[in-house]
Structure 1
Amino acid sequence: MGRLTRILAAMAIVVLGVTACGTSNTAGGKIGGTVHILGTWTGAEKDSFDAVMKPFTDQTGVKISFEATRDLDAILQTKIAAGNPPDVTAAPGIGTLIKLARAGKVVPLDDKLDTTELNANYGADWINLGKIDGKLITLYAWAALKGLVWYDPKAFSAKGYQVPKTWTELMSLQSKIVSDGGKPWCVALESQAASGWPGSDWVKEIVLSQSGPTVYDNWWQGKQKWTSTEIKQAWTTWGQILGSNGANVYGGKQYMVSTTFGDGGQGLFSSPAKCYMFNQGSFITSFFDGYTPKPTAGTDYAVFPLPDVNTANTGAHVVAGDAFLMTKDTPQGRALLKYLATADAQDIWVKRGGGKIAINKKVSLSDYPDAISKSLAQVVGDTKIARYDAGDLMPSDMQKAYWGAVLKFVQNQSQLDAILADLDKTQATAYASP
């Protein structure tokens, strides 16, 4: 991991020009055939991907074969080892991709994409983010903002609650909700093989905001021990959010570990409210859209950034996005990646909602479907300290151990020292070069 292009650790996000969305025809003419894609999307996320793919198929005649799995790293490595890789992989984390790229199992994109056009439409940071050891390996087609607290403004108003601007105010609001007999938070951690990752988001957001970017960078690179004061402090801070034995969370420990992450916001919309706040990334609105009845942005839900834990790190945000890479060089795969980089493709994702933020600078803010999504795009653009999702940068073994540690922690916070010691042991081996 040490030789990974350091822009991953030092990037400052440049997102969204304000020019009108232009048209593009970079997918090429009719080439036919099928492109095989491995990804993680199901439900509303898959529906949006299908909508993005329809114009591509219409323009090129290329059919889409999509395989979804939540255990993407393992499935991808198995397919590559068997000599049957997908043409294109859409990966939410790149820890495993780094090892695969260095082993020559991923197709570099430097001569597969029009880099002149890419440089014109993408901020340099997002291009460099896709580089491993100086080679362009992955393409990002959208960004997501993490560290967002969702709430029902009607429920807040009925109780006289105010949106907190500082960490102290957040803690005061949490205490007020408890004293009023309510539950401040909904937390949902179930995600099949990836169960635990929503809690890992809490920890990484706190690490960045509380201890700053240097600690954050050293941590994901494997240079900062999990048992260090700074990382342990982040876990204990999250423990203060959860409360003793999960007392601040609707349904307590059992609800947290058994509830699918996409359903975690349901409690906001109950009457009376089962919880008043829910921390999740910008993409969660695509799951809100699947709730019955469907909540309305701005009326039934609103959002505020998780307040700064330490004002020395004001405006710190964790961002993420699926990394598209070519694991088998085919004309169909090349055409797909060229298309995904266009404003036309990203505009479809943006207009469908779901919290996706375009990276192509030709996508206009006016194309975002509501005031909330526009504001989130602006938050990303205005971010002062931005870091890519640390868990997604860690090696696969480290990431999975991290997720598992989250599940152990929420069920028994008193075991934190042992949990962190085990993570140190994993860290000692997970970063070894392939």
Structure 2
Amino acid sequence: MRLTSTRRRAALAVTAAALALTTTGCLGDSGGGGGGDSNTVTVWMSVDQPIVDGFQEHLDKLAADTDLTVKLEKVENINQLIMTKIQANDTPDIALIPQPGVVGDIVDRGAAFPLDDVVDVPALEQSMIPGTLDTGTFDGKLYGLLAQMNVKSLVFYNKAAWDKAGYKAPESIDELNALTEQIKADGGTPWCMGIESDTATGWPATDWFEDLVLRYGGVDTYDQWVSHEVPFDSDVVRESAAEFEKLMFTDGNVLGGRKSISSTGFADAGYPMFDKSGPKCWLFKQGSFIPSFITEGAGVTLDDIGLFGFPPAEAGGDNPLLGGGDLAVLLNDSDQAKQVMKWMSDPELGTEAAPKSSFISPHTTFDTSLYPDALTAQMAQIAYDATDFRFDGSDQMPGEVGAGTFWKEMTAWISDDQDLDTTLKNIDDSWPSS
């Protein structure tokens, strides 16, 4: 039943995306870049409606003493839709894009305008998590400003059972391995793990690898790996694979064993943590969106869920964060559009959205008391304590790799259908030549 529910969500997303493409013409009527009232600035985004509403409220307050009107619109499948609109020269004034690779494509088409002279970059460098501005920087210029984020370097657990057992959050990967062994010695199954996600099966494994490469290689090597200057068949990826293999493939470490991972739904995997007889598995590495799935699927509340940040390679060392989010891109260089973009760089953007949505600000100065619950505030604080931020790697790789062979080959390896050598070679060979 739970797996069916997960698949239904995926099917609805596909249907919505298809609908968005069929309604492109209608949406275009309000695009700021294609004409219309010069004092109305249109912003498109695909974030949850409560975030849209909160952003609208905040921007309305900033615009109250001006003659500007800011019109925010939620659209589906914005990555494809915006490319269609660029071709038609009928874009909104600003768009929030969820993938840096798409921002780069927009820049390559000459459709985006740099933000270096629009926003206060030195001030943003002080208020934002280190590395967030790098995410939207191309050829030395800032084109995409992270407006809201999600956090991926997280491990969730059953809070009551965890506290009763007296376990402590690990401060290094070695301590994570020790915790895994301790849980097993205590008679438990350490890890919950599933990578099944319909046509996107495999993506949770890529998040694991991205986090491990980020820790073992550091941010520079991670960036080189994402751009394929460092290949998949490299020492740092093999080191990451060895750690993944130790945690996920060792007998007794994962509920259902290695063979179950590829057939277990990415969200369903976490529900057994809250079995009425006690945790069937104890640790669940996932992103900041997963608590809503757990509360629904396991019938618990947010107060029942505990978490810690995925630990650094060494205690006290660099503590990078893997995440995602939406980048504001300027598609119209009018003074009005620039003013709204400047408002969107306000560190307090999200003040109205945070209490009623999944919004997480990329600004370390953001008031964490505004988040709707302690769990969200804790996820945000983990992000703010990071030494550096890096965007999800597969979202930056060419589509045929990041959303293709990376998923597929990880699934084949995890399923024990092929060895690691073949897996890494296949991904490298799939990389486009230009």
In 2, Cα distance between equivalents of 1:405 and 1:395: 15
Cα 1:36/1:350, change in 2 over 3 Å: closer
Pairing 1:407-422 to 2, within 5 Å after superposition: 407-412=411-416, 414-422=418-426
Partner of 2:287: 281
Q: CA deviation at 1:333?
A: 5.8
Partner of 2:74: 66
Q: Is the 8 A contact 2:249 2:257 kept in 1?
A: no
Q: CA deviation at 1:314?
A: 4.4
In structure 2, the residue corresponding to 1:139 is in which secondary structure? strand
Partner of 2:42: 35
Partner of 1:317: 321
In 2, Cα distance between equivalents of 1:51 and 1:227: 45
Q: Is the 8 A contact 2:204 2:266 kept in 1?
A: no
Partner of 1:222: 228
Pairing 1:239-258 to 2, within 5 Å after superposition: 239-243=245-249, 248-249=254-255, 253=259, 256-257=262-263
Cα 1:87/1:238, change in 2 over 3 Å: farther
Structure 1 unaligned segments of length 5 or more: list them. 1-29
In 1, Cα distance between equivalents of 2:198 and 2:84: 18
The answer to whether the aligner puts 1:270 opposite 2:286 as a matched pair is no
Q: CA deviation at 1:349?
A: 3.8
In structure 1, the residue corresponding to 2:189 is in which secondary structure? coil
Cα 1:196/1:295, change in 2 over 3 Å: same
TM-score (norm 1): 0.73
Q: CA deviation at 1:233?
A: 2.2
In structure 2, the residue corresponding to 1:321 is in which secondary structure? strand
Partner of 2:210: 204
Q: CA deviation at 1:151?
A: 0.8
In structure 1, the residue corresponding to 2:349 is in which secondary structure? helix
Partner of 1:108: 114
The answer to whether the aligner puts 1:359 opposite 2:341 as a matched pair is no
Partner of 1:24: none
Q: CA deviation at 1:259?
A: 1.9
In structure 1, the residue corresponding to 2:95 is in which secondary structure? strand
Query: RMSD in angstroms over aligned alpha carbons?
Result: 3.9
In structure 2, the residue corresponding to 1:48 is in which secondary structure? helix
Q: Is the 8 A contact 1:245 1:413 kept in 2?
A: no
The answer to which structure, 1 or 2, has the higher relative contact order (CA under 8 A, 6+ apart) is 1
Q: Is the 8 A contact 2:100 2:327 kept in 1?
A: yes
In 2, Cα distance between equivalents of 1:330 and 1:264: 49
Q: CA deviation at 1:222?
A: 1.5
Partner of 1:402: 406
In 1, Cα distance between equivalents of 2:237 and 2:349: 39
In 2, Cα distance between equivalents of 1:85 and 1:254: 45
Q: Is the 8 A contact 2:193 2:254 kept in 1?
A: no
Q: CA deviation at 1:226?
A: 0.6
Q: Is the 8 A contact 2:191 2:281 kept in 1?
A: yes
Q: Which amino acid aligns with 1:154?
A: A
The answer to whether the aligner puts 1:152 opposite 2:154 as a matched pair is no
Cα 1:196/1:93, change in 2 over 3 Å: farther
Partner of 1:10: none
In structure 1, the residue corresponding to 2:244 is in which secondary structure? helix
Q: Is the 8 A contact 1:147 1:317 kept in 2?
A: yes
In structure 2, the residue corresponding to 1:282 is in which secondary structure? coil
Q: Which amino acid aligns with 1:66?
A: K
In 2, Cα distance between equivalents of 1:329 and 1:267: 52
Deviates more, 1:395-404 or 1:122-131: 122-131
Cα 1:239/1:89, change in 2 over 3 Å: farther
Cα 1:32/1:270, change in 2 over 3 Å: farther
Partner of 1:233: 239
Aligned length: 390
Partner of 1:424: 428
Structure 2 unaligned segments of length 5 or more: list them. 1-36
In 1, Cα distance between equivalents of 2:52 and 2:269: 22
